[in-house]
Amino acid sequence: MSSILLMLVGLIAMSLGYVFYSKFIAEKIYQLDPNYRTPAHTMRDGVDYVPTNRFVLWGHHFTSVAGAAPIVGPAIAVIWGWGPAFLWVIFGTIFFAGVHDFGALWASARNRGQSIGMLSGRLIGHRGRSLFLVVIFLVLLMVNGAFAAVISSLLISTPTSVIPVWGAIIVALVIGQLFYRYKMSLLWPSVGGVIVLYLLILLGNQVPIVLPETVLGLSARAFWILLLFVYAAIASLLPVWVLLQPRDYINGMQLFVGLGLLYLAVLFGAPEIVAPAFNTDVPEGSPSLVPLLFVTIACGAISGFHGLVASGTTSKQLDKETDARFVGYFGAVGEGMLALAAIICCTAGFATLVDWQEVYTRFGAGGVNAFVSGGGTLLANGLGLPADLGATVLATMAILFAGTTMDTGLRLQRFVIQEAGELVGMRPGTLVGTLIAVAVCMALAFGAGADGTGGMLIWPLFGTTNQLLAGLTLSIITVILIKKGRPAIYTIVPLIFLLSMSILALLVQMGQFYRDENWFLLVLDVIILIAALWVTYEAVGAMRRGRDPSVDATTEEPLP
């Protein structure tokens, strides 16, 4: 199978989805209004609510949702063959992720920038909101804990990425000042920022930073994780324009350069895909393709975490409602392009089928390391890039996206803590909420693992919990559409599919946890399942009540 054909089919399909399907959703379903005043203007505070250029906001949204997941998920799922992974990424991006991300952003912007969790309270009831917040909190805990472990592993395995990864923070701080303090246009800071970032990659490739075995009494891995949480806490407290927006924006630019290099390498190198389209000889002990494919590939097809970002930070920075199509739907397309690149790297970046099989010896093998090594091979063969430099580029790209996800994830976790506090009559401030969020993540990371990798303990449940959250978010969007008297079939179909696959996957995993006598994950699995079923029941009840005449025609807020 030609990797060029796979690349062209995937890119053309997703482009057509954005051009035609997203336009239909914007005009006929969400009915965007260019004159609607978004919360970024009506609630502007200079910290979280800041009107933002749509290209900068797209950079924030895209890199926040991308992280390492659209690389890791496809890189693991190709064990069933490239065919199922490819089809799920393409159809998921066009008909699932785009509608979900776009819809969460639109719904939040129409409701004072409230998160999906808070919206659930008004739309499906207080019990549903409480359980929804439980699911959201667990997803964020998994993301923050696991991504810190993933980043630390890459910083150790690819020490040439250390300088560009931390240097990117300085680049972002400078760009933020140029954009907002000195009112410079986007062009030259963007060009300059990308050039400096790639110069840092060249420097890092020549000057690898390797930590000693112990630093301040901690292992190298634990030290990196501690430093990452300190950084994420500081970043989440700063106004979004100081670091979050410019860092995400320049990382988005860097991603497109990286993706461009990968796709050019495919075009010029024309590597053959050595992995089978449908693998009939999966390693012993591998789970069945259905339902596990649909929760293994979350980001890159559809992800509940995207709804948290869209309704948590992105909606508060939306300048015009019409920007939601570009930011939300095209953000999903960008992630689909990254997932497509991961599939190609992990199936065409090997010399032979035997080489591929030596990596994919069990379910869960491959992952980000297969992407880095396979992508490095493609860059070397297609563009003549030295293999070590190609690995540095890809490792830096993966770390930067995982880092921006942590930045946003910790800020979102603070929002959830503040919202939960309001439910019990408390109002924790920004600093207190952030400290609680960091304390919980650190307790998981270091309480369950001496080297700080305890965040990986609950990672096996991330895929199913994340997809359940996507289904529940779609249920909130569906309730809004039904109350407005608008067609809801475009959200109901992906909603039913996702909830079915996710609940089935939870049941499958429940049986595995029982056989392995993993009682902690078994109990957590049951809690998540009960919460999801309860929220679904409440949402279905709200849907059955039908159109609500108390909802105004120009906003989703109920009339007093």
The predicted model gives 522-538 an average pLDDT of 85
Helix pair 244-269, 367-383: axis angle to 10 deg: 60
Q: Is the pLDDT of residue 468 over 70?
A: yes
Sorted by sequence, the CB contacts under 8 Å of residue 435 that are 6+ apart come out as: 233
pLDDT for the residue 272: 92
Q: Give me 523's structure tokens.
A: 């109990």
Task: Please list, in sequence order, all residues whose beta carbon lies within 8 angstroms of the beta carbon of residue 318, skipping any fewer than 6 positions away.
Answer: 38, 39, 40, 51, 52, 57, 105, 109, 324, 327
Bridge partners (DSSP) of residue 558 are 551
pLDDT for position 450: 58
Highest mean pLDDT among 40-49, 104-113, 460-469: 104-113
SS3 label, residue 557 = coil
Q: Amino acid letter at 513?
A: F
Angle between helix 69-77 and helix 367-383 axes, rounded to 10 deg: 90
Per-residue pLDDT, 552 = 46
Instruction: Give residue-wise pLDDT tens across range 137-192.
Output: 888 888 888 888 888 888 888 899 999 999 999 998 998 898 888 888 878 888 88
Q: Which residue from 250, 263, 251, 253 is spatially nearest to 375, judged by alpha carbons?
A: 263
Determine the pLDDT at residue 242: 87
214: pLDDT confidence band, cut at 50, 70 and 90?
confident
**Rounded to an integer, what distance in angstroms lies between the CA atom of residue 47 and that of residue 88?**
38
Query: Is residue 557 within 8 Å of 549, Cβ to Cβ?
Result: no
Q: What are phi and psi of 260, to 5 degrees?
A: -60, -40
> What's the pLDDT band for 449 if we cut at 50, 70, 90?
low
Query: What is residue 448's predicted lDDT score, i.e. its pLDDT?
Result: 60
Determine how many CB atoms are found less than 10 A away from the CB of residue 554: 10
* Ranges 60-64, 296-300, 311-315: which has the least confidence: 60-64
Average pLDDT, rounded, for the chain? 86
Specify whether the CB–CB gap between 344 and 90 falls below 8 A.
Answer: no
φ/ψ bin of 32: left (φ > 0), alpha (ψ from -120 to 50), beta (otherwise)? beta
More confident residue, 375 or 87: 87
In contact, 47 and 256? CB cutoff 8 Å: no
Top-confidence residue, 405 or 76 = 76
**272 bridge partner residues:** 2
Contacts of 211 (CB under 8 A, 6+ apart): 156, 220, 223, 224
Structural domains of the chain, with CATH: 3-544 (1.20.1740.10)
Peptide bond connecting 291 to the previous residue in cis, omega within 30 degrees of 0: yes
Q: Where are the alpha helices (DSSP H) in 313-451?
A: 323-324, 330-348, 353-359, 367-383, 387-423, 430-447
**Confidence check: pLDDT of 412 > 60:** yes
Confidence of residue 554 (pLDDT cuts 50, 70, 90): very low
Segment 510-537 mean pLDDT: 86
Write the CB contacts of 88 (distance below 8 Å, at least 6 apart in sequence): 77, 293, 294, 297, 301
Q: Identify the pLDDT of residue 67.
A: 67
Token pair listed for 170: 């300085």
pLDDT confidence bin for 125, thresholds 50/70/90: confident
- Res 560 pLDDT > 70: no
**pLDDT average, residue stretch 460-476:** 86
What's the confidence (pLDDT) of residue 558? Answer: 46
Whole-number pLDDT of residue 428: 80
Torsion of CA 508, 475, 109, 14, to 10 degrees: 60
Strand partners, 214: 219
CB contact at 8 A, 241 and 249: no
pLDDT for 126 equals 74
Instruction: State the average pLDDT over residues 353-358.
Output: 90
Q: How far is the C-alpha of 158 from the C-alpha of 370, rounded, in Å? A: 13
Average pLDDT rounded to a whole number, residues 492-521: 90
Q: Which amino acid is at 168?
A: A
Cβ atoms of residues 186 and 253 within 8 Å: no
Q: Please determine, for residue 460, whether its predicted confidence score (pLDDT) is greater than 80.
A: no
Question: Alpha-carbon distance 352 to 242, whole Å?
Answer: 47
CA 222 to each of CA 165, 382, 434, 436, 447: distance values in angstroms, whole numbers, following the listed order? 17, 37, 21, 20, 12
- Quote the CA–CA distance of 115 and 314 in Å, as a whole number: 10
**pLDDT(512) > 90:** no
The Cα–Cα gap between 394 and 219 comes to: 25
In this prediction, residue 549 has a pLDDT band, given cuts at 50, 70 and 90, of low
The stretch 320-339 carries a mean pLDDT of: 94
The tokens 């990797």 sit on which residue? 3
Q: Is 107 left (phi over 0), alpha (psi -120 to 50) or beta?
A: alpha
Tokens 């109002």 correspond to 427
pLDDT higher than threshold 80 for residue 344: yes
Indicate the range of 312-316, 469-473, 542-546 predicted with least confidence. 542-546
